[in-house]
A = this chain, B = another copy of it.
Amino acid sequence: MKKPETLLKRHHVRVTNIRKEIVAALLEKETALSYREIRDCICESHDRVTVYRTLNTFVNEGIMHTISSADGVVRYALCSDGSCEPHHHDDRHIHFLCKKCGRTFCLPFRAQPDFEIPTGYKMDSFEISVSGLCENCLNPS
């Protein structure tokens, strides 16, 4: 388990309470979280605006990336070590939305499929969102 402070320093951003709290929430839950969920994990006294600004900073600095699911909710997930440079998110991994518990996971990188896209179109990057049942919901222990 990594310390939020270490992570922030490694990315050369100032260490503040709200930043530590938000990173801690993401590290603890181990899933992607929406603004609302993040809000519910941190001290209530922080202003909404500060939360949004913090999340924007994290995305810009390559600390987190956003995931916009089919349900229209934007979620934030920690970038795995070294996978995201500032302003250059590496999107080679797949996102998984569990239909039962509603949690969103970044799946570990696996072999990527090839696509057939029509002639005339040029592909730069792609994103794959899978939905179904997560480990926990499929095999409740």
Contacts and interface: CB of A to CB of B under 8 A. Distances in A.
B121 A133 contact: yes
Nearest to A69: B68
Interface in A104-141: 107-108, 110-111, 113-118, 120-135, 138-139
Copies in the assembly, this chain: 2
A71 B74 CA distance: 10
A77 to B, nearest CB: 14
The bracket for how many chain A residues form the interface is: 35 or more
A41 interface: no
A94 B129 CA distance: 12
Contacts of A107: 117-118, 121
Chain A to chain B: the 9 pairs with minimum beta-carbon distance, closest first: A113-B113, A120-B135, A124-B132, A110-B116, A123-B132, A122-B133, A126-B130, A122-B132, A127-B129
